[in-house]
Amino acid sequence: MSNFGNYEDRIKNFSWLISEQELGYQPGQPINIGWYCSDRVCQQGKGDKTALIWEGFGGEKKVYSYNDLRLYSNAFARFLTDSGIKAGDRVCLFMDRIPELYIGFVGILKTGAIAQPLFSAFGEDSLFVRLENAQTTAIFTQKKHVSKVRKIKDKLPHLKHIFIVDYDGKNPLQDREKAFSMEGLGGVEDYDVYPTYAESPSVLHYTSGTTGMPKGVQHVHYSLISQYLTAKWVLDLRDDDIYWCTADPGWVTGTSYGIIAPFALGVTQCVLDSGFSAEAWYRFIEKNKVTVWYSAPTAIRSLMKAGDEIIKKFDLSSLRHLASVGEPLNPEAVNWSIRVFNKPFHDTYWQTETGCILITNFPGMPVKPGSMGRAFPGITATVLNPNNHEPYPQPGRIGLIGIKPGWPSMMRGYWKNEEAYKNKFRNGWYLTGDRARLDGDGYFWFVGRDDDIINTGGHLVSPFEVESALLEHLAVAESAVVSKPDPINMEVVKAFVTLKPGHTPSKDMELDIMNFIRKKLSPLAMPQEIEFVDTLPKTRSGKIMRRILHAKEWGEEAGDTSTLENE
Ligand code: WT7
């Protein structure tokens, strides 16, 4: 029997009070995620229980109990408070998946400051726009990433502190830099956790926008209420589980379900800080006896590609429940997992903005391969007619996924961008920006995004951001960025580029531009192909029509081209 049980019963009796009561939260009283993730678990007598099993790139292993998590997160918190960090300040985590990332996140929240995790593969431009927009006060990083911070810090007057967590004394520290060793000083026994309340800001995650620069999605401490319960009911987490979430905390899956929910549930989780390899992943599951595994379609497709033979080399019988998020999970992947693991991957659908899972194939209920599943109790999800933003009276029609606002972990705004936030609502519905179809059983079938954003391997990339970076390359005159199909990543970034006079297309030029983007933005945003063209399709007002290029890549009809300038 799953934690969730029966859908009809859960829907009938649902209230978020279930979660509040399990967590012992009283409305109006303080609620601090950092405290729930560590101190409370220890108070429940689980101080000696393993919180985190960490394995590094070279097989190095570290294990932390809940008491260690409490003591070391206190050390982070004390250090920040002593450094003058105040509640509400933005503190960035810019690190690989090392223990300091997980424990530091908990420590930041304990001070009342806002945790701003950023993907460590970001290049200096991606880092800069996010630190500038958030007016970030402090950043924790590693030796290997500090050079990127050094390149931009002079343009960041608000950035007062650069903390290096693995400083070895070899190179002198520069202006604003300071060493902080989590374990160096030992843990801190007593730290007065800052009394944040339900609506106090907690986490700021950046997500790609359609037209503008990335938007800071602002969450609050009350988000715990829905993160906790969805992890319990959808990921089916239990006290004796060994849980593995493969997402990086630079993205929301890696915080909501890679830090907050598992720690608040007092579950043991493991982290593998290395790139993808089917062999290494299966070995990791075998070695740690992983029971619940939360991953993503691109990883699953890569495992499928590695073949079934390799699976036979490992004992994966510990696996009890599998879930997936981030992009469409194809039915082939679900059927494959039933064949090789004897259980399906359960799709989960949500967003950075929603903070928790909204729609899912629940444990213990029949999975419809290819469908995202049904709405979580307490979540009112529907498919809206795009013309009037009213729910379709009957299932079966393709429209926009709309959610009734008001669940605990919904974003409270986009950082300093009220207009973009307002734009997400129509007719009393929060618009996800995705299109789907509902069937007669209440299952949602994902159709596609309703904007130009590219979802490559589960990571959202804004064509606008890549186009802007391309224009900084000295040979590029104009650019247009679209997606093109890819068997593993579903879609990848493709750029159409016109060159300035005096520059000629070549393979070297293509590689040079690709590398330029990889360094400035990130490997995810790097175009996998650059097509050099003489002109780009534009409207009469001069706007580049990505739609035409997109249609060409996907072998689709381009639709209305009546406003095209050079047709
Ligand atoms: C977008 C949100 C929330 C976790 C990671 C992504 C797409 C998400 C699914 C799914 C099809 C999905 C949507 C969504 N997406 N889950 N199960 N099936 N598409 O967070 O970066 O904010 O991306 O990812 O397009 O809007 P994110």
Residue 95 in contact with residue 142, Cβ under 8 Å?
A: yes
How far apart are the C-alpha atoms of 244 and 271, rounded to whole Å?
Answer: 7
Q: Residue 229 pLDDT > 80, yes or no?
A: yes
Going along the chain from its start, the domains and CATH numbers come out as: 7-438 (3.40.50.12780), 451-554 (3.30.300.30)
**Where does residue 417 rank: exposed (0-12), middle (13-18), buried (19+ CB within 10 A)?**
middle
Model pLDDT for residues 375-411, shown as the tens digit of each residue: 999 999 999 999 999 999 999 999 999 999 999 999 9
Model pLDDT for residues 169-216, shown as the tens digit of each residue: 999 999 999 999 999 878 999 999 999 999 999 999 999 877 778 999
More reliable by pLDDT, 141 or 210: 141
Q: Residue 560 pLDDT > 70, yes or no?
A: no
pLDDT of 567: 44
460, 462, 483, 490: residue to mutate for ligand 1 pocket, most atoms within 8 A of CB: 460
Task: Tell me phi and psi for residue 35, to 5 degrees.
Answer: -65, -45
Q: Residue 241 pLDDT > 80, yes or no?
A: yes
How far apart are the C-alpha atoms of 511 and 498, rounded to whole Å?
Answer: 15
CA of 404 to the centre of ligand 1 (A): 18
Question: The tokens of 256 are what?
Answer: 């909501």
Q: Whose CA is nearest to atom 24 of ligand 1?
A: 326
| Atom of ligand 1 at shortest range from CA of 353 | 22
Model pLDDT for residues 36-85, shown as the tens digit of each residue: 999 999 999 999 999 999 999 889 999 999 999 999 999 999 999 999 99
* Ligand 1 first shell, C-beta below 6 A: 207, 251-253, 325-329, 347-352, 372, 432-434, 446, 449, 455, 460
Residue 479 CB contacts under 8 Å (≥ 6 apart), including other chains? 466, 467, 470, 471, 495, 496, 497, 498, 536
How far apart are the C-alpha atoms of 531 and 514, rounded to whole Å?
Answer: 11
Q: Residue 521 pLDDT > 80, yes or no?
A: yes
Average pLDDT, the chain: 96
How far apart are the C-alpha atoms of 443 and 445, rounded to whole Å?
Answer: 7
How far apart are the C-alpha atoms of 420 and 522, rounded to whole Å?
Answer: 24
pLDDT of 558: 74
Please spell the DSSP secondary structure of 136-149, one letter per residue: --EEEE-HHHHHHH
| Atom of ligand 1 at shortest range from CA of 350 | 3
